[in-house]
Structure 1
Protein backbone atom coordinates (compact mmCIF):
# COMPACT_ATOMS: atom_id res chain seq x y z
CA UNK A 1 0.00 0.00 0.00
CA UNK A 2 1.32 3.44 -0.89
CA UNK A 3 0.36 5.16 2.32
CA UNK A 4 1.28 8.63 1.13
CA UNK A 5 -0.74 8.55 -2.07
CA UNK A 6 -3.77 10.84 -2.06
CA UNK A 7 -6.97 10.23 -3.99
CA UNK A 8 -9.48 12.84 -5.09
CA UNK A 9 -13.16 12.31 -4.48
CA UNK A 10 -14.94 10.29 -1.83
CA UNK A 11 -15.86 7.10 -3.67
CA UNK A 12 -14.58 3.97 -1.98
CA UNK A 13 -14.24 2.29 -5.34
CA UNK A 14 -10.91 4.10 -5.71
CA UNK A 15 -9.44 2.33 -2.67
CA UNK A 16 -7.74 -1.05 -2.60
CA UNK A 17 -8.72 -3.63 0.06
CA UNK A 18 -5.60 -3.04 2.16
CA UNK A 19 -6.17 0.70 2.25
CA UNK A 20 -9.79 0.22 3.18
CA UNK A 21 -8.79 -2.09 6.01
CA UNK A 22 -6.21 0.38 7.30
CA UNK A 23 -8.89 3.07 7.35
CA UNK A 24 -11.22 0.67 9.16
CA UNK A 25 -8.63 -0.10 11.82
CA UNK A 26 -7.64 3.52 12.39
CA UNK A 27 -11.25 4.68 12.55
CA UNK A 28 -12.34 1.82 14.81
CA UNK A 29 -9.49 2.31 17.26
CA UNK A 30 -10.17 6.02 17.73
CA UNK A 31 -12.01 5.18 20.96
CA UNK A 32 -8.94 3.59 22.46
CA UNK A 33 -8.14 7.04 23.74
CA UNK A 34 -4.48 6.41 23.04
CA UNK A 35 -4.48 8.16 19.69
CA UNK A 36 -6.53 11.25 20.49
CA UNK A 37 -6.18 13.89 17.82
CA UNK A 38 -3.63 11.75 15.98
CA UNK A 39 -6.29 9.29 14.91
CA UNK A 40 -8.61 12.00 13.65
CA UNK A 41 -5.74 13.45 11.66
CA UNK A 42 -4.85 9.99 10.32
CA UNK A 43 -8.41 9.44 9.13
CA UNK A 44 -8.35 12.80 7.39
CA UNK A 45 -5.04 11.85 5.76
CA UNK A 46 -6.31 8.49 4.51
CA UNK A 47 -9.66 9.85 3.29
CA UNK A 48 -8.44 13.27 1.17
CA UNK A 49 -17.68 3.46 37.15
CA UNK A 50 -18.10 0.51 38.88
CA UNK A 51 -15.07 -1.69 38.38
CA UNK A 52 -15.39 -5.44 38.62
CA UNK A 53 -14.04 -7.48 41.52
CA UNK A 54 -10.35 -7.66 42.22
CA UNK A 55 -8.42 -9.93 44.51
CA UNK A 56 -6.61 -7.05 46.21
CA UNK A 57 -7.68 -4.25 48.50
CA UNK A 58 -8.08 -0.78 46.99
CA UNK A 59 -5.00 1.43 47.25
CA UNK A 60 -4.93 3.81 50.19
CA UNK A 61 -6.01 7.36 49.44
CA UNK A 62 -3.07 9.58 48.63
CA UNK A 63 -2.62 13.00 50.24
CA UNK A 64 -4.09 15.87 48.26
CA UNK A 65 -0.69 17.23 47.25
CA UNK A 66 0.42 13.82 46.00
CA UNK A 67 -2.81 13.37 44.06
CA UNK A 68 -2.24 16.78 42.45
CA UNK A 69 1.20 15.66 41.39
CA UNK A 70 -0.26 12.45 39.97
CA UNK A 71 -2.89 14.38 38.01
CA UNK A 72 -0.33 16.85 36.72
CA UNK A 73 1.93 14.02 35.55
CA UNK A 74 -0.91 12.15 33.86
CA UNK A 75 -2.31 15.19 32.07
CA UNK A 76 1.01 16.63 30.89
CA UNK A 77 1.03 16.66 27.06
CA UNK A 78 3.13 14.11 25.21
CA UNK A 79 5.23 14.86 22.10
CA UNK A 80 3.17 15.12 18.92
CA UNK A 81 3.63 12.87 15.90
CA UNK A 82 2.62 13.07 12.26
CA UNK A 83 -0.38 10.88 11.34
CA UNK A 84 1.65 8.83 8.86
CA UNK A 85 4.08 7.99 11.65
CA UNK A 86 1.65 5.33 12.91
CA UNK A 87 2.02 3.37 9.66
CA UNK A 88 5.00 1.16 8.75
CA UNK A 89 8.04 3.23 7.78
CA UNK A 90 11.84 3.19 7.50
CA UNK A 91 13.68 2.18 10.65
CA UNK A 92 16.09 4.52 12.38
CA UNK A 93 19.80 3.86 12.27
CA UNK A 94 20.49 5.41 15.67
CA UNK A 95 20.05 3.33 18.82
CA UNK A 96 16.84 3.99 20.75
CA UNK A 97 18.03 2.63 24.08
CA UNK A 98 16.50 -0.30 25.89
CA UNK A 99 14.12 -0.79 28.79
CA UNK A 100 14.56 -4.23 30.32
CA UNK A 101 11.19 -5.62 31.32
CA UNK A 102 10.74 -8.42 33.83
CA UNK A 103 8.99 -11.57 32.73
CA UNK A 104 5.78 -12.65 34.45
CA UNK A 105 5.90 -15.27 37.15
CA UNK A 106 2.28 -16.35 36.90
CA UNK A 107 -1.14 -15.80 35.41
CA UNK A 108 -3.67 -13.58 37.15
CA UNK A 109 -7.36 -12.79 36.76
CA UNK A 110 -8.75 -12.85 33.21
CA UNK A 111 -5.69 -14.85 32.16
CA UNK A 112 -3.45 -11.77 32.24
CA UNK A 113 0.22 -12.53 32.92
CA UNK A 114 1.25 -11.13 36.29
CA UNK A 115 3.88 -11.33 38.99
CA UNK A 116 5.77 -8.22 37.90
CA UNK A 117 7.88 -6.43 40.53
CA UNK A 118 7.15 -3.23 42.42
CA UNK A 119 9.18 -1.06 40.01
CA UNK A 120 8.40 1.30 37.11
CA UNK A 121 9.56 -1.42 34.72
CA UNK A 122 7.14 -3.79 36.43
CA UNK A 123 4.31 -1.31 35.90
CA UNK A 124 5.23 -1.02 32.23
CA UNK A 125 5.32 -4.79 31.81
CA UNK A 126 1.95 -5.16 33.54
CA UNK A 127 0.27 -2.58 31.31
CA UNK A 128 1.64 -4.32 28.24
CA UNK A 129 0.23 -7.65 29.49
CA UNK A 130 -3.17 -6.11 30.23
CA UNK A 131 -3.48 -4.49 26.80
CA UNK A 132 -2.24 -7.51 24.85
CA UNK A 133 -4.64 -9.88 26.63
CA UNK A 134 -7.58 -7.53 26.24
CA UNK A 135 -7.16 -6.72 22.57
CA UNK A 136 -6.13 -10.20 21.43
CA UNK A 137 -9.39 -11.52 22.92
CA UNK A 138 -11.05 -10.19 19.77
CA UNK A 139 -14.35 -9.57 21.55
CA UNK A 140 -16.04 -6.84 23.55
CA UNK A 141 -16.74 -9.23 26.42
CA UNK A 142 -13.12 -10.33 26.50
CA UNK A 143 -11.94 -6.73 26.84
CA UNK A 144 -14.52 -6.07 29.55
CA UNK A 145 -13.41 -9.09 31.54
CA UNK A 146 -9.84 -7.86 31.52
CA UNK A 147 -10.54 -4.31 32.63
CA UNK A 148 -12.99 -5.51 35.31
CA UNK A 149 -10.14 -7.39 36.98
CA UNK A 150 -7.29 -4.94 36.39
CA UNK A 151 -8.53 -1.51 37.39
CA UNK A 152 -8.45 0.14 40.80
CA UNK A 153 -11.59 1.79 42.23
CA UNK A 154 -12.14 5.16 40.61
CA UNK A 155 -10.48 4.15 37.37
CA UNK A 156 -12.00 3.32 33.98
CA UNK A 157 -14.83 0.79 33.98
CA UNK A 158 -15.94 -2.01 31.64
CA UNK A 159 -18.24 0.59 30.08
CA UNK A 160 -15.84 3.53 29.85
CA UNK A 161 -12.37 2.09 29.31
CA UNK A 162 -10.94 3.22 25.98
CA UNK A 163 -10.03 -0.36 25.07
CA UNK A 164 -13.68 -1.48 25.32
CA UNK A 165 -14.84 1.34 23.07
CA UNK A 166 -12.04 0.63 20.62
CA UNK A 167 -12.92 -3.06 20.32
CA UNK A 168 -16.63 -2.28 19.89
CA UNK A 169 -15.90 0.17 17.08
CA UNK A 170 -13.51 -2.21 15.39
CA UNK A 171 -16.02 -5.05 15.37
CA UNK A 172 -18.82 -2.74 14.23
CA UNK A 173 -16.75 -1.31 11.39
CA UNK A 174 -15.86 -4.84 10.29
CA UNK A 175 -19.52 -5.86 10.27
CA UNK A 176 -18.95 -8.32 13.12
CA UNK A 177 -20.90 -8.89 16.33
CA UNK A 178 -19.62 -8.21 19.85
CA UNK A 179 -18.44 -11.83 20.44
CA UNK A 180 -16.02 -11.40 17.54
CA UNK A 181 -15.53 -13.84 14.71
CA UNK A 182 -13.04 -16.36 13.30
CA UNK A 183 -12.74 -13.84 10.45
CA UNK A 184 -10.94 -11.45 12.80
CA UNK A 185 -7.35 -12.11 13.81
CA UNK A 186 -5.39 -9.64 15.90
CA UNK A 187 -1.77 -9.84 17.00
CA UNK A 188 -0.56 -7.17 19.43
CA UNK A 189 3.16 -6.81 20.10
CA UNK A 190 4.56 -4.38 22.73
CA UNK A 191 7.78 -3.24 21.08
CA UNK A 192 8.65 0.13 22.60
CA UNK A 193 7.74 2.06 25.70
CA UNK A 194 8.61 4.77 28.17
CA UNK A 195 8.10 5.71 31.78
CA UNK A 196 6.52 9.15 31.71
CA UNK A 197 7.16 9.60 35.42
CA UNK A 198 6.50 8.41 38.95
CA UNK A 199 5.06 9.89 42.15
CA UNK A 200 6.45 7.89 45.01
CA UNK A 201 7.02 4.15 44.71
CA UNK A 202 3.35 3.20 44.20
CA UNK A 203 2.33 5.39 41.24
CA UNK A 204 3.65 5.56 37.71
CA UNK A 205 2.44 6.78 34.34
CA UNK A 206 3.78 4.45 31.69
CA UNK A 207 3.28 4.21 27.94
CA UNK A 208 3.58 1.27 25.56
CA UNK A 209 3.89 1.53 21.79
CA UNK A 210 2.34 -1.55 20.18
CA UNK A 211 2.46 -3.03 16.72
CA UNK A 212 -1.09 -4.08 15.82
CA UNK A 213 -1.58 -6.60 13.00
CA UNK A 214 -5.28 -6.87 12.20
CA UNK A 215 -6.72 -9.27 9.64
CA UNK A 216 -10.27 -9.22 8.37
CA UNK A 217 -9.93 -10.91 4.96
CA UNK A 218 -7.01 -8.53 4.34
CA UNK A 219 -4.21 -7.62 6.75
CA UNK A 220 -3.30 -4.17 8.01
CA UNK A 221 -0.57 -3.07 10.40
CA UNK A 222 -0.50 0.07 12.49
CA UNK A 223 1.14 1.42 15.64
CA UNK A 224 -1.11 2.09 18.62
CA UNK A 225 0.25 3.60 21.84
CA UNK A 226 -1.35 3.40 25.27
CA UNK A 227 -0.56 5.50 28.34
CA UNK A 228 -2.10 4.64 31.71
CA UNK A 229 -1.86 5.52 35.37
CA UNK A 230 -0.59 2.46 37.23
CA UNK A 231 -0.90 1.97 40.99
CA UNK A 232 0.67 -0.66 43.22
CA UNK A 233 -1.99 -2.31 45.36
CA UNK A 234 0.13 -4.47 47.62
CA UNK A 235 0.88 -7.40 45.35
CA UNK A 236 0.32 -6.24 41.78
CA UNK A 237 0.01 -3.22 39.51
CA UNK A 238 -3.46 -2.06 38.45
CA UNK A 239 -4.69 0.66 36.10
CA UNK A 240 -5.19 3.52 38.53
CA UNK A 241 -8.01 5.89 39.42
CA UNK A 242 -8.62 9.11 37.58
CA UNK A 243 -8.97 10.09 33.93
CA UNK A 244 -6.83 8.26 31.42
CA UNK A 245 -3.61 10.18 30.76
CA UNK A 246 -2.83 12.46 27.86
CA UNK A 247 -2.38 10.30 24.75
CA UNK A 248 1.07 9.10 23.83
CA UNK A 249 2.27 9.47 20.23
CA UNK A 250 1.45 6.41 18.12
CA UNK A 251 4.52 5.89 15.97
CA UNK A 252 5.82 2.87 14.13
CA UNK A 253 8.28 1.14 16.49
CA UNK A 254 11.93 1.57 15.63
CA UNK A 255 11.51 4.59 13.38
CA UNK A 256 13.17 7.97 13.82
CA UNK A 257 9.81 9.35 14.99
CA UNK A 258 9.68 6.73 17.74
CA UNK A 259 13.19 7.55 18.91
CA UNK A 260 12.44 11.28 18.83
CA UNK A 261 9.31 10.72 20.92
CA UNK A 262 11.44 9.19 23.66
CA UNK A 263 10.45 5.58 23.20
CA UNK A 264 12.94 2.86 24.03
CA UNK A 265 13.02 -0.73 22.88
CA UNK A 266 11.34 -3.17 25.23
CA UNK A 267 13.40 -6.23 25.99
CA UNK A 268 12.17 -8.97 28.32
CA UNK A 269 14.85 -10.42 30.57
Structure 2
Protein backbone atom coordinates (compact mmCIF):
# COMPACT_ATOMS: atom_id res chain seq x y z
CA UNK A 1 0.00 0.00 0.00
CA UNK A 2 2.81 2.37 0.80
CA UNK A 3 5.41 1.13 -1.72
CA UNK A 4 7.11 4.34 -2.81
CA UNK A 5 7.33 3.34 -6.46
CA UNK A 6 3.92 2.00 -7.26
CA UNK A 7 1.04 3.31 -5.18
CA UNK A 8 -0.83 6.57 -5.55
CA UNK A 9 -4.21 7.23 -3.97
CA UNK A 10 -6.61 9.10 -6.22
CA UNK A 11 -10.16 10.35 -6.40
CA UNK A 12 -12.14 10.69 -9.64
CA UNK A 13 -11.91 12.43 -12.98
CA UNK A 14 -11.61 16.15 -13.61
CA UNK A 15 -13.96 18.61 -15.20
CA UNK A 16 -12.81 19.17 -18.83
CA UNK A 17 -13.96 22.80 -18.69
CA UNK A 18 -11.61 23.68 -15.82
CA UNK A 19 -8.49 25.63 -16.82
CA UNK A 20 -5.62 26.66 -14.56
CA UNK A 21 -2.24 28.11 -15.29
CA UNK A 22 0.76 26.24 -13.97
CA UNK A 23 1.48 28.98 -11.44
CA UNK A 24 -2.07 29.04 -10.10
CA UNK A 25 -1.99 25.29 -9.60
CA UNK A 26 1.38 25.52 -7.88
CA UNK A 27 -0.05 28.09 -5.48
CA UNK A 28 -3.10 25.89 -5.02
CA UNK A 29 -0.92 22.91 -4.21
CA UNK A 30 1.11 25.16 -1.96
CA UNK A 31 -2.02 25.64 0.08
CA UNK A 32 -1.88 21.94 0.85
CA UNK A 33 1.64 22.38 2.20
CA UNK A 34 0.69 25.44 4.19
CA UNK A 35 -2.85 24.92 5.35
CA UNK A 36 -3.11 21.17 5.70
CA UNK A 37 0.27 20.49 7.12
CA UNK A 38 1.77 23.65 8.63
CA UNK A 39 0.54 23.37 12.19
CA UNK A 40 1.29 25.86 14.93
CA UNK A 41 -0.17 26.43 18.37
CA UNK A 42 -2.00 29.60 17.37
CA UNK A 43 -3.75 28.07 14.36
CA UNK A 44 -3.22 27.79 10.64
CA UNK A 45 -0.76 29.58 8.42
CA UNK A 46 -2.38 31.25 5.42
CA UNK A 47 -1.11 30.83 1.90
CA UNK A 48 -0.40 34.54 1.76
CA UNK A 49 1.67 34.41 4.93
CA UNK A 50 3.75 31.54 3.62
CA UNK A 51 4.36 33.10 0.24
CA UNK A 52 5.36 36.40 1.86
CA UNK A 53 7.90 34.61 4.02
CA UNK A 54 6.29 34.96 7.45
CA UNK A 55 5.98 32.08 9.84
CA UNK A 56 3.87 30.92 12.74
CA UNK A 57 5.00 30.99 16.32
CA UNK A 58 5.69 27.97 18.46
CA UNK A 59 3.71 26.61 21.33
CA UNK A 60 3.36 28.72 24.44
CA UNK A 61 3.79 27.83 28.07
CA UNK A 62 6.78 26.69 30.08
CA UNK A 63 8.32 23.28 29.54
CA UNK A 64 7.68 22.47 33.18
CA UNK A 65 3.96 22.87 32.61
CA UNK A 66 3.91 20.54 29.64
CA UNK A 67 3.72 16.80 29.62
CA UNK A 68 6.40 14.79 27.88
CA UNK A 69 3.95 14.30 25.04
CA UNK A 70 3.29 18.02 24.72
CA UNK A 71 6.99 18.84 24.80
CA UNK A 72 7.67 16.34 22.03
CA UNK A 73 4.78 17.67 19.93
CA UNK A 74 5.86 21.30 20.40
CA UNK A 75 9.52 20.68 19.54
CA UNK A 76 10.23 22.74 16.44
CA UNK A 77 11.56 21.13 13.28
CA UNK A 78 13.51 22.91 10.51
CA UNK A 79 11.48 25.18 8.26
CA UNK A 80 11.65 25.09 4.48
CA UNK A 81 10.59 27.56 1.78
CA UNK A 82 7.74 26.69 -0.56
CA UNK A 83 10.25 26.26 -3.38
CA UNK A 84 11.82 23.30 -1.56
CA UNK A 85 8.52 21.43 -1.91
CA UNK A 86 8.53 21.75 -5.71
CA UNK A 87 10.08 19.07 -7.97
CA UNK A 88 13.81 19.72 -8.16
CA UNK A 89 17.29 18.29 -8.17
CA UNK A 90 17.73 14.82 -6.73
CA UNK A 91 20.65 13.81 -4.58
CA UNK A 92 23.11 11.09 -5.51
CA UNK A 93 23.57 10.39 -1.81
CA UNK A 94 21.82 7.84 0.34
CA UNK A 95 19.39 7.74 3.20
CA UNK A 96 17.82 4.94 5.17
CA UNK A 97 14.61 3.00 4.70
CA UNK A 98 11.69 2.54 7.08
CA UNK A 99 9.87 -0.73 6.54
CA UNK A 100 6.15 -0.04 6.74
CA UNK A 101 3.77 -2.85 7.67
CA UNK A 102 1.02 -3.70 5.25
CA UNK A 103 -2.60 -3.21 6.38
CA UNK A 104 -4.59 -6.23 7.46
CA UNK A 105 -8.07 -4.89 6.79
CA UNK A 106 -10.18 -1.93 5.73
CA UNK A 107 -11.62 0.05 8.62
CA UNK A 108 -14.11 2.85 9.10
CA UNK A 109 -14.66 5.29 6.20
CA UNK A 110 -12.54 3.04 3.98
CA UNK A 111 -9.29 3.72 5.88
CA UNK A 112 -6.78 0.86 5.75
CA UNK A 113 -5.97 -0.45 9.22
CA UNK A 114 -4.82 -3.48 11.18
CA UNK A 115 -1.32 -2.11 11.71
CA UNK A 116 0.85 -3.41 14.56
CA UNK A 117 1.44 -1.75 17.92
CA UNK A 118 4.81 -0.29 16.85
CA UNK A 119 6.09 3.15 15.80
CA UNK A 120 6.12 1.96 12.20
CA UNK A 121 2.53 0.83 12.58
CA UNK A 122 1.60 4.31 13.82
CA UNK A 123 3.30 5.88 10.80
CA UNK A 124 1.48 3.56 8.42
CA UNK A 125 -1.87 4.33 10.04
CA UNK A 126 -1.31 8.08 9.74
CA UNK A 127 -0.46 7.65 6.07
CA UNK A 128 -3.71 5.76 5.53
CA UNK A 129 -5.76 8.41 7.37
CA UNK A 130 -4.21 11.33 5.48
CA UNK A 131 -4.44 9.76 2.04
CA UNK A 132 -8.08 8.77 2.48
CA UNK A 133 -9.08 12.24 3.61
CA UNK A 134 -7.12 14.21 1.02
CA UNK A 135 -7.79 12.09 -2.03
CA UNK A 136 -11.52 12.03 -1.37
CA UNK A 137 -11.76 15.60 -2.73
CA UNK A 138 -14.70 15.91 -0.33
CA UNK A 139 -14.80 17.98 2.84
CA UNK A 140 -17.64 15.80 4.09
CA UNK A 141 -15.58 12.62 3.69
CA UNK A 142 -12.55 14.22 5.36
CA UNK A 143 -14.79 15.14 8.29
CA UNK A 144 -16.02 11.56 8.50
CA UNK A 145 -12.43 10.31 8.47
CA UNK A 146 -11.29 12.40 11.43
CA UNK A 147 -14.49 11.69 13.37
CA UNK A 148 -13.78 7.96 13.05
CA UNK A 149 -10.00 8.15 13.55
CA UNK A 150 -9.45 10.61 16.39
CA UNK A 151 -9.31 9.70 20.07
CA UNK A 152 -11.52 11.57 22.55
CA UNK A 153 -10.10 15.07 22.89
CA UNK A 154 -8.41 14.84 19.51
CA UNK A 155 -9.04 16.91 16.38
CA UNK A 156 -12.66 17.32 15.33
CA UNK A 157 -14.51 17.66 12.05
CA UNK A 158 -14.21 21.43 12.45
CA UNK A 159 -10.70 21.75 13.87
CA UNK A 160 -8.61 19.13 12.05
CA UNK A 161 -6.05 20.65 9.73
CA UNK A 162 -6.82 17.97 7.15
CA UNK A 163 -10.40 19.19 6.83
CA UNK A 164 -9.42 22.84 6.80
CA UNK A 165 -6.66 22.29 4.28
CA UNK A 166 -8.82 20.32 1.87
CA UNK A 167 -11.51 23.00 2.11
CA UNK A 168 -8.89 25.66 1.35
CA UNK A 169 -7.60 23.70 -1.63
CA UNK A 170 -11.05 23.29 -3.15
CA UNK A 171 -11.95 26.92 -2.43
CA UNK A 172 -8.73 28.09 -4.10
CA UNK A 173 -9.73 26.10 -7.17
CA UNK A 174 -13.18 27.67 -7.26
CA UNK A 175 -14.83 24.34 -6.51
CA UNK A 176 -17.50 23.15 -4.16
CA UNK A 177 -16.80 21.17 -1.01
CA UNK A 178 -17.85 18.02 -2.89
CA UNK A 179 -15.43 18.01 -5.85
CA UNK A 180 -14.95 14.31 -6.48
CA UNK A 181 -15.94 14.68 -10.13
CA UNK A 182 -14.00 17.86 -10.88
CA UNK A 183 -10.43 17.21 -9.71
CA UNK A 184 -8.17 14.24 -9.16
CA UNK A 185 -6.00 14.44 -6.07
CA UNK A 186 -3.29 11.88 -5.46
CA UNK A 187 -1.25 11.56 -2.26
CA UNK A 188 1.69 9.17 -2.11
CA UNK A 189 3.62 8.75 1.16
CA UNK A 190 7.24 8.65 0.01
CA UNK A 191 9.46 9.46 3.00
CA UNK A 192 9.15 9.80 6.75
CA UNK A 193 10.73 9.65 10.17
CA UNK A 194 9.67 9.07 13.75
CA UNK A 195 9.93 12.36 15.63
CA UNK A 196 9.75 10.53 18.93
CA UNK A 197 7.83 8.26 21.26
CA UNK A 198 6.60 8.44 24.86
CA UNK A 199 6.16 4.94 26.17
CA UNK A 200 4.67 2.30 23.91
CA UNK A 201 1.35 3.99 23.21
CA UNK A 202 2.36 7.46 21.97
CA UNK A 203 4.21 8.16 18.73
CA UNK A 204 4.69 11.24 16.58
CA UNK A 205 5.41 10.08 13.04
CA UNK A 206 6.14 12.55 10.25
CA UNK A 207 5.42 11.76 6.61
CA UNK A 208 6.51 13.54 3.44
CA UNK A 209 3.94 13.01 0.67
CA UNK A 210 3.94 13.79 -3.01
CA UNK A 211 0.58 15.44 -3.66
CA UNK A 212 -0.62 15.45 -7.27
CA UNK A 213 -3.49 17.52 -8.66
CA UNK A 214 -4.74 16.74 -12.14
CA UNK A 215 -7.04 18.71 -14.40
CA UNK A 216 -8.02 18.16 -18.00
CA UNK A 217 -6.35 21.45 -18.93
CA UNK A 218 -2.81 20.14 -18.67
CA UNK A 219 -0.29 17.79 -17.12
CA UNK A 220 -0.58 16.78 -13.47
CA UNK A 221 1.23 19.13 -11.09
CA UNK A 222 3.00 17.94 -7.98
CA UNK A 223 4.28 19.27 -4.68
CA UNK A 224 5.67 17.75 -1.49
CA UNK A 225 3.56 18.05 1.65
CA UNK A 226 4.57 16.87 5.11
CA UNK A 227 2.43 15.97 8.09
CA UNK A 228 3.14 15.07 11.73
CA UNK A 229 0.46 13.93 14.14
CA UNK A 230 0.10 12.61 17.67
CA UNK A 231 -0.72 8.93 17.28
CA UNK A 232 -2.00 6.99 20.28
CA UNK A 233 -2.83 3.32 20.74
CA UNK A 234 -6.52 3.29 21.64
CA UNK A 235 -8.89 0.31 21.71
CA UNK A 236 -6.52 -1.89 19.74
CA UNK A 237 -5.63 0.52 16.94
CA UNK A 238 -3.66 3.68 16.21
CA UNK A 239 -5.67 6.91 16.10
CA UNK A 240 -4.85 10.62 16.16
CA UNK A 241 -4.57 11.62 19.80
CA UNK A 242 -5.71 14.50 21.95
CA UNK A 243 -3.86 17.78 22.16
CA UNK A 244 -2.61 20.44 19.77
CA UNK A 245 -1.34 19.20 16.44
CA UNK A 246 2.46 18.97 16.44
CA UNK A 247 4.85 21.56 15.08
CA UNK A 248 5.15 21.07 11.31
CA UNK A 249 7.77 19.04 9.54
CA UNK A 250 9.42 20.59 6.48
CA UNK A 251 7.77 19.81 3.15
CA UNK A 252 10.72 18.76 0.97
CA UNK A 253 10.83 17.14 -2.44
CA UNK A 254 11.54 13.45 -1.77
CA UNK A 255 15.03 12.45 -2.80
CA UNK A 256 16.45 15.94 -2.62
CA UNK A 257 19.53 16.55 -0.53
CA UNK A 258 17.41 18.74 1.72
CA UNK A 259 15.10 15.80 2.44
CA UNK A 260 18.08 13.63 3.39
CA UNK A 261 19.54 16.39 5.56
CA UNK A 262 16.21 16.75 7.38
CA UNK A 263 16.34 13.09 8.39
CA UNK A 264 13.70 11.71 6.05
CA UNK A 265 13.96 8.07 5.06
CA UNK A 266 12.26 6.16 2.28
CA UNK A 267 9.05 4.31 3.14
CA UNK A 268 8.71 0.75 1.89
CA UNK A 269 6.51 -2.27 2.42
CA UNK A 270 8.75 -5.35 2.65
CA UNK A 271 8.22 -7.72 -0.24
CA UNK A 272 7.13 -11.17 0.80
Compute the displacement of 1:27 (Å). Answer: 3.1
Aligned-pair distance for 1:42?
5.2
Aligned residue number for residue 154 of structure 2? 155
1:26 to 2:27 alignment: no
- Tell me the residue number matched to 2:123: 124
Whichever of the two has the greater Rg, that structure is: 1
SS in 2 for 1:194: strand
1:242 corresponds to 2:250: no
CA distance in 2, matches of 1:81, 1:29: 11
Cα contact 2:137–2:183 (8 A) shared by 1? yes
Distance 1:153 1:230 in 2: 12
Q: Which runs of 5+ in 2 are unaligned?
A: 1-19, 54-63
Per-residue deviation, 1:194: 0.5
Over aligned residue pairs, what C-alpha RMSD do you find?
Answer: 2.1
Aligned-pair CA distance for 1:211: 0.1
| Alignment match, 2:7 | none
- Compute the displacement of 1:95 (Å): 0.9
- Specify whether residues 265 and 205 from structure 1 end up closer, same or farther in structure 2 by C-alpha distance, changes over 3 A only: same
In the aligned structure 1, how far is the partner of 2:269 from the partner of 2:121?
11
Kept after mapping to 2: 8 A contact 1:38/1:83: no
Contact 1:35/1:224 (CA < 8 Å) preserved in 2? no
Q: CA deviation at 1:28?
A: 5.6
**What residue number does 2:51 align with?**
43
Q: Residues 230 and 111 (structure 1 numbering): CA distance in 2 closer, same or farther, change over 3 Å?
A: same
Partners of 1:88 and 1:252 within 8 A in 2: yes
2:87 is the counterpart of 1:88: yes
- Distance between the aligned counterparts of 1:66 and 1:114, measured in 2? 34
SS at structure 2 position matched to 1:74: helix
TM-score scaled by length of structure 1? 0.82
Determine which structure has the larger helix proportion and give its number: 1
The answer for the alignment partner of 1:265 in structure 2 is 266
Note the C-alpha offset of 1:33: 3.6
